[in-house]
Amino acid sequence: MKIAIIGAGVSAAAACKALTAQGASVTVFEKARGPGGRVSSKRALAGSFDFGAQYFTARSQAFLAQVQQWQSQGLVQRWEFVPYQYQHGQLSPSPDDEIRYIGTSTMHQMLAGEFEGATMYTGCKINELSYICSNVSSQSTGQWQLCSEQGECFGGFDALLLTCPPAQAKQLLEGAPLSLQIPEQALLPCWAVLLELASATHHQAQGIFVRDGNTRWIAQQSAKPGRHSARLQQDTAQAPEQWLVHLSEDCSAAELETMPEQISALAAAELSRVLGTEVQVAAALCHRWLYASYNSDIPPCGVLFDKKMQLALCGDWTLGGRVENAWLSGVEAACKLLGKAHHI
């Protein structure tokens, strides 16, 4: 069975692992330079920048087993810190019992091995799909053909799995019956800003949940394990203090087309407001997520599947957000494509 997967984030990694384990021939198409999706990190300034998901949790036994496997491989570790909360002008510790995990050195570190056994095309944005009814495919139903923005075409797929954001999936599947089940506005935008300070604040907070204003999350990126470059990890006295600011959904939507320089200034002002001290920024880096956080106002639709067309859609948004749900949705989608029962 030949299966195409569009996207190479968490849900795609889970599906790919499950499909190849059952002998399926899998081809993955990713528009970025490598796997990661919304758990991507990039090398930036004095280390790595986790501009998407900041951490993840494991609440189901199935995903916990996967996380423990990654831990044993040195790909994942716990991020142990006391959360802070900012609300009504007050910043204070807000301890909880949550166990938080991060990828070792980068958030997407644990995904690369999950695509082993598959063929992957990176820097390849698929912009056209066609389903051709035929008796040629191994399943004697039909074949999927995919065409990229660069003009390349890839065909002969018995099944197709889309793990891209719902708005992009809806555009690709225009006219297909399954597209009518894709919810509108399931994911909301977010500006992520990395601020490297000219002088350290020496603040104790590592992760701050912000309950008001233009920000929803602030993290001391330089305090996360393994985020500095190898040179600075050996000489921590020279390591600059770095903070990550996630602007709120409403603010990000309002400022979607604003220039990065202005977004950096806004993020610096927000960091100063929350920490209660004026920060001086030496360098900044912005990343605009058009499809970032799950919209909790929309009920999760569940993994979508069209058996006749051997077409499935998955992602964290299908099960209610969170990295764990992205993984679980990928496993469920793989089971549907393989015609197997699924149990979490």
Instruction: Write out the CATH class of domain 2-338.
Output: alpha beta
What crossing angle do the helices spanning 323-338 and 61-72 adopt, rounded to 10°? 110
Cα gap 238→236, rounded to integer Å: 5
Give the whole-angstrom CA distance, residue 60 versus residue 112: 22
Residue 158: which pLDDT band, with cuts at 50, 70 and 90? very high
**Mean pLDDT for the chain?**
93
pLDDT grade, residue 146 (50/70/90)? Answer: very high
Residue 207 has a CB neighbour count (10 Å cut-off) of 21
Please list, in sequence order, all residues whose beta carbon lies within 8 angstroms of the beta carbon of residue 152, skipping any fewer than 6 positions away. 124
Model pTM score: 0.93
Summarize the confidence of residues 2-22 as an average pLDDT.
97
Task: Kindly report which listed range (44-58, 165-179, 218-232, 250-264) carries the lowest average pLDDT score.
Answer: 218-232
| Domain boundaries, given as residue ranges, for the chain | 2-338
Residue 143, SS3?
strand
Does the pLDDT value for residue 141 go beyond 80? Answer: no
- Asked whether the predicted pLDDT for residue 233 surpasses 70, the reply is no
pLDDT tens track for 290-311: 999 999 999 999 999 999 999 9
Residues 108-136: pLDDT tens digits? 999 989 999 999 999 999 999 999 986 55
Residue 193 has pLDDT above 90, yes or no: yes
Q: What percent of the chain has pLDDT over 90?
A: 86
Contact (CB, 8 A) for 68 and 78: no
Segment 54-63 mean pLDDT: 97
SS3 1: coil
SS3 337: helix
- Secondary-structure breakdown of the chain: helix, strand, coil percentages, each rounded to the nearest 5: 30, 30, 40
